Amino acid sequence: MKVSIYALEKLLKEYETNIANASKLLKEYETNIANASKQLKDLDAGKITLSALKIASVENTLEHSNAEYEKYKAIYDAIPEKEKEDFRNLQAVQELLAKESYYKLQKIRVKRNKNLKRNQRLEAMMVLDELPEDIHFDDTQLIEVTNVIIKFNARESVELVAELGTIREEFDKRIEELKDKEDLKHFHFLDTYIPIIVLHFASLVKSIEETIIVYNEKAQETQEEKTPTQPIIFNGFPKYEDWWFEELFLNHQAYFSLYQWKEKIKNICLSDQQKDLWEKIFSNWLMIKKILSTKDENAWDYNFIFDDMIAKYTKVEEEFDNEIRETNEKNLVEELKGIHLSKYLAEHHLSTYYQRWKNEKINKK
């Protein structure tokens, strides 16, 4: 018998008062208890400092949440197990139908999306046609894959889709394996974003490596000419250092180190297309690294997964050799002696396109 999603919603509402509400409240109070307990634990360990008023508030929250948790747990435990099982089954079917409906209507949403250019809509439709039956992407991921294909003029969409699927599956699995899930809730907004950044970065690295191979093959052909083309010696990508993110808004040396590192990779890029893409990837990568660096120990496991996947799929790694890091710091100090920080390192404009647009928008009011 075929059941509509609307009929399921009606059935679920019949269970909602007793089961759904009790279950929802239990989760809320569990979260409150975990947060308050962690705050008090960190306070005792000297990791954080709180005012007397804040401590009293946390203790009151913990006491109230414990009492309410016990109250609703008794209500939930009193509900017959069969009703709970029926409710869970209905929820599972509803979620399945909702997903099927979401992917079934994806082409229609792409066609009607006025924010997409014509070539983006056409490419997205082709990607959907080529997707294996067991692979799906939400709209954001689909557009990101489409943009990568257009950017690189690559029609191997199935290969890109498969690679994103592999990256996303590995990332989700590693996140799921982390023990302390409570701290991870602060980073959920990055969960969809990170696999896409890794894919973009990996695609750029692959493009650079392939371009260098082609360039060197052509250089080899000119060796007998009067003015032979010199081959590119590629020894891998430069390594970054973690203190750059920690001290980004504290020391100008961190800014300059990141700038130098970015320029070194930009100089490895052989085409304007690669250079433009690197600028965007660098901005997104730096944003994520800076966000995670401000979360201290709570973000270390999450940050490690991000770093490890970047290293695996792009060969871009962090420098751990102390001698090399000390040498880098000495070189940095010497280089800064010859740089006048009162001068701009690149083309400079006081007014940006956005600033002018914003100014006009404000003045029209």
What is the secondary structure of 193-215 as a DSSP string?
Answer: HHHHHHHHHHHHHHHHHHHHHHH
List pLDDT tens digits, range 202-223: 888 888 888 898 888 888 887 7
Read off the pLDDT band of 238 (50, 70, 90). Answer: very high
**Which of 67, 85, 103 is the last residue before a domain boundary?**
103
Domain assignment of residue 328, yes or no: yes
**Could you write out the DSSP letters of every residue in 23-61?**
HHHHHHHHHHHHHHHHHHHHHHTTS----HHHHHHHHHH
Q: How many domains does the chain have?
A: 2
Read off the pLDDT band of 6 (50, 70, 90). Answer: very low
Domain assignment of residue 56, yes or no: yes
For residues 123 and 146, the answer to whether their CB atoms sit within 8 Å is yes
Q: Give the mean pLDDT of 36-54.
A: 84
Length of the chain: 365
Give the torsion through C-alpha atoms of 61, 63, 65, 70, to 10 deg: 180
* Residue where the block lists tokens 């191997």: 156
The angle formed by the CA atoms of residues 255, 318 and 313, to the nearest 5 degrees, is 115
Read off the pLDDT band of 180 (50, 70, 90). Answer: low
- Looking at the fold, whether 83 and 212 belong to one and the same domain comes out as no
- Looking at the fold, whether 87 and 182 belong to one and the same domain comes out as no
Residue 3 has pLDDT above 60, yes or no: no
Residue 192 has pLDDT above 70, yes or no: yes
Q: Which domain holds residue 184?
A: 167-364
- Looking at the fold, whether 97 and 195 belong to one and the same domain comes out as no
Closest CA to 199 of 284, 129, 126: 284
Q: Could you tell me if residue 317 is left (phi over 0), alpha (psi between -120 and 50 degrees) or otherwise beta?
A: beta
- Looking at the fold, whether 273 and 190 belong to one and the same domain comes out as yes
Phi first, then psi, for residue 46 (nearest 5°) are 80, 10
Q: Could you tell me if residue 315 is left (phi over 0), alpha (psi between -120 and 50 degrees) or otherwise beta?
A: left
Q: What is the DSSP letter of 16?
A: I
Residue 73 has pLDDT above 90, yes or no: no
Taking the C-alpha atoms of residue 232 and residue 218, their distance in angstroms, rounded to an integer, is 11
Whole-structure pTM value: 0.58
Taking the C-alpha atoms of residue 83 and residue 292, their distance in angstroms, rounded to an integer, is 43
List pLDDT tens digits, range 121-158: 877 777 777 666 666 677 777 777 777 666 655 555 55
| pLDDT recorded at residue 134 | 61
Residue 98 has pLDDT above 80, yes or no: no
Phi first, then psi, for residue 289 (nearest 5°) are -60, -40
Domain assignment of residue 134, yes or no: no
| pLDDT recorded at residue 158 | 56
| pLDDT recorded at residue 131 | 66
Taking the C-alpha atoms of residue 163 and residue 160, their distance in angstroms, rounded to an integer, is 5
Q: In this structure, how many other beta carbons lie within 10 angstroms of the beta carbon of residue 208? A: 20
Q: Give the mean pLDDT of 240-265.
A: 90
* Residue where the block lists tokens 């008023």: 53
User: Structure tokens of 85?
Assistant: 């099982």
- Looking at the fold, whether 69 and 181 belong to one and the same domain comes out as no
Read off the pLDDT band of 263 (50, 70, 90). Answer: very high
Cα 111 versus chain centre, distance? 27
| pLDDT recorded at residue 264 | 92
Q: Which residues are registered as beta bridge partners of 200?
A: none
Q: Which of 76-80, 130-134, 165-169, 353-357 has the highest mean pLDDT?
A: 165-169
Q: Between these two residues, 128 and 355, which has the higher pLDDT value?
A: 355
Phi first, then psi, for residue 318 (nearest 5°) are -90, 150
**Which of 103, 133, 148 is the last residue before a domain boundary?**
103
| pLDDT recorded at residue 11 | 47
| pLDDT recorded at residue 282 | 92
Q: Give the mean pLDDT of 82-97.
A: 68
Domain assignment of residue 193, yes or no: yes
For residues 309 and 170, the answer to whether their CB atoms sit within 8 Å is yes
Domain assignment of residue 156, yes or no: no
Taking the C-alpha atoms of residue 65 and residue 17, their distance in angstroms, rounded to an integer, is 20
Residue 234 has pLDDT above 90, yes or no: no
Q: Give the mean pLDDT of 172-177.
A: 87
Domain assignment of residue 273, yes or no: yes
**Which of 88, 103, 118 is the last residue before a domain boundary?**
103
- Looking at the fold, whether 95 and 204 belong to one and the same domain comes out as no
- Looking at the fold, whether 228 and 316 belong to one and the same domain comes out as yes
**Proportion of the chain above pLDDT 90, given as a percent:** 11
| pLDDT recorded at residue 185 | 67
Q: Between these two residues, 152 and 240, which has the higher pLDDT value?
A: 240
Residues 97-115: b if buried by 16+ CB within 10 A, e if exposed: beeeeeeeebeeebeeeee
List pLDDT tens digits, range 28-40: 888 888 888 888 8
| pLDDT recorded at residue 1 | 41
Average predicted confidence (pLDDT) for the chain: 79
Rg (C-alpha) for the chain, rounded Å, is 27
Domain assignment of residue 336, yes or no: yes
Residues 118-147: b if buried by 16+ CB within 10 A, e if exposed: eebbebbbebbeebeeeebbeeebbbbbbb
Of the candidate ranges 57-61, 216-220, 303-307, 339-343, the one whose mean pLDDT is the lowest: 339-343
| pLDDT recorded at residue 122 | 79
| pLDDT recorded at residue 81 | 73
List pLDDT tens digits, range 278-331: 988 898 899 889 888 887 777 888 889 999 999 999 989 999 998 998 999 899
Domain assignment of residue 110, yes or no: no
